Amino acid sequence: MEFPQDFIWGTASSSYQIEGGAFDDGKGPSIWDTFSHRPGTIADGTNGDVACDSYHRFEEDLDILKSLGIRNYRFSVSWPRVIPEGTGDINKAGLEYYDKVVDGCIERGIDPWMTVYHWDLPQALEDKGGWQNRDTVAAFRDYTRVLAEHFGDRVKHWFTINEPEIFIGLGYGTGEHAPGLRLEPREQFRCWHNALLAHGEAVRVIRDVVPDAVIGAAATGMLGYVHEHLKETPKEISDFSFHTGESQLKDGHFFFFYQWAFDPMVKGKYPDDPISPWSRCAEEMSSEEGFREDMELISQPLDFLGLNIYNGTEMDPANGCQVMQRYVGFPRTAIGWHVTPEVMYWGPRQIWERYGLPMVISEDGQSCNDRIFLDGKVHDPDRIDFLQRYLEELSDVIKDGVPVKGFFHWSFTDNLEWNSGYDERFGLVYIDYRTQDRTVKDSAYWYSRLIQGKQI
């Protein structure tokens, strides 16, 4: 497989999943602190109080990144570590921590890619309605300004929000994620709209404060694919990828689509998606005063789109591009997600055809049942195989003219996989949670050789 000379190779993490230090040095509680302490919310009964202890061990982690030659690191800022109540007083110790992370990256030749929001909303804001409350948008704008003013001299790559599909869909829809609410579609959609407004405000602020910033947002969703690399994209595939289907309505996951985030962000309007319950909500909202201005704010020009791609849905061109029944025993990762490398070809291609913006793969990876072997190493050939398959498809789509500029492996280290707990290991680096010892996995050495252009 081949990649352009200037291709951006990186790896990713998020604050709540790795930091720990949940109540240290003036940090306020986030909705994930509250949620994870509620019995029955996290599969293995754990929480992020300590996580990978990156709050204390980031130097060691950055050394590992450097030793692997990984030159781009995507991480997120914990809002309540910086502004404990969500608005008002700034916690200097919080900013100092991220100063050390940012400077630590730069000293090691690593470009920091900062995500403003990866789900850890200050609990104080949730107490006032969280994403249901439009005041959260202004709070987000002010929080982003603090980050832009403080870090903008050193941080040039920014993600505003990460996966609204999940933090709204699972947080305020199905209740599986913090804050654990199960709202009706109309109320969910209000949250959704507010999250997109927050994104728009953030883009505007970062642009204003850091004129040479490169700004995007990361989203995820359903994507259809066919096995072959056809010349034309069958209409049935993109119809599938960008329209809510009956099965998602039935399982209550109708929010899990790219178009609900990227249509408003890029095209300035909500999608034409007839059977989604949100279409009615968007229609109703469109008669509210200020709606046009809202859409203008949401659709601030972006430099790139971040795609978090893990798997897709195969369709059969021989059969009118119907969804293909998966065969018995179809390959799966440890968390149970299907291994579908072709989505790494068809996903970026369809997003490119619909939105016409450069992209980075902001997340991709697999969870494995990793462990330390008798020889003291972590052998994870399944992760290497997964990466090789997905990256070959990515290399092909780039060759076909689709501008994917970078790839961030999810994740850097093993970490707290939200409500699934610590059992799901996505990292290139193994964490022994009893001792916090780090062990670099075989896949990390493989990735390191790949990105340095060595024989893999």
User: 309 or 450, CB closer to ligand GCO?
Assistant: 309
Q: Residue 40 CB, nearest distance to ligand GCO (Å)?
A: 20
Q: Residue 16 CB, nearest distance to ligand GCO (Å)?
A: 9
Query: Which residues are part of the catalytic machinery?
Result: 163, 363
Going by the DSSP 8-state scheme, the letter that residue 81 receives in this structure is H
User: Which of 99, 111, 43 is CA-nearest to residue 72?
Assistant: 111
The dihedral of CA 342, 73, 193, 214: what is its sign?
negative
User: Which of 81, 159, 10, 42 is CA-nearest to residue 417?
Assistant: 42
Q: Residue 420 CB, nearest distance to ligand GCO (Å)?
A: 8
Burial degree of 50 (CB within 10 A; 0-12, 13-18, 19+): middle
When binding is defined by CB under 6 A, the residue of 91, 162, 241, 279 that contacts ligand GCO is 162
When binding is defined by CB under 6 A, the residue of 163, 294, 370, 380 that contacts ligand GCO is 163
Q: Is there binding between residue 15 and ligand GCO (CB under 6 A)?
A: no
When binding is defined by CB under 6 A, the residue of 144, 276, 308, 413 that contacts ligand GCO is 308
Q: Is there binding between residue 166 and ligand GCO (CB under 6 A)?
A: yes
What is the rounded distance in angstroms from the CA atom of residue 68 to the CA atom of residue 326?
37
When binding is defined by CB under 6 A, the residue of 61, 363, 370, 393 that contacts ligand GCO is 363
- Buried residues in 267-304 as b, exposed as e (16+ CB within 10 A): eeebbebeebbbbebbeebeeeeeeeebbebbbbebbb
SS3 28: coil
Find the binding residues for ligand GCO in span 406-425 (CB under 6 A).
410, 417
Kindly report the number of other CB atoms within 10 A of residue 192's CB atom.
Answer: 27
Q: Is there binding between residue 65 and ligand GCO (CB under 6 A)?
A: no
User: 346 or 410, CB closer to ligand GCO?
Assistant: 410
- Whose tokens are 């300590």? That residue is 50
Q: Residue 219 CB, nearest distance to ligand GCO (Å)?
A: 9
Read off the amino acid at residue 410: W
Read off the amino acid at residue 68: L
Find the binding residues for ligand GCO in span 371-410 (CB under 6 A).
410
- Whose tokens are 């697999």? That residue is 366
Q: What residue is closest to ligand GCO based on CB?
A: 163
User: 125 or 217, CB closer to ligand GCO?
Assistant: 217
Stretch that binds ligand GCO, among 162-170, 201-209, 350-358, 395-403 (CB under 6 A): 162-170
User: Which of 287, 266, 263, 290 is CA-nearest to residue 276?
Assistant: 263
User: 145 or 199, CB closer to ligand GCO?
Assistant: 199
What is the rounded distance in angstroms from the CA atom of residue 454 to the CA atom of residue 411?
22
Q: Is there binding between residue 366 and ligand GCO (CB under 6 A)?
A: no
# residues near ligand GCO by CB under 6 A: 10
Q: Residue 159 CB, nearest distance to ligand GCO (Å)?
A: 10
Stretch that binds ligand GCO, among 97-105, 159-167, 266-274, 282-290 (CB under 6 A): 159-167
User: 168 or 315, CB closer to ligand GCO?
Assistant: 168
- Structure token pair of residue 320: 């009118």
Q: Edge-to-edge, what's the strand order for the sheet holding 322-323?
A: 224-225, 313-316, 322-323
SS3 406: strand
Q: Is there binding between residue 19 and ligand GCO (CB under 6 A)?
A: no
Contacts with ligand GCO by CB under 6 A lie at 14, 17, 162-163, 166, 308, 363, 410, 417, 426
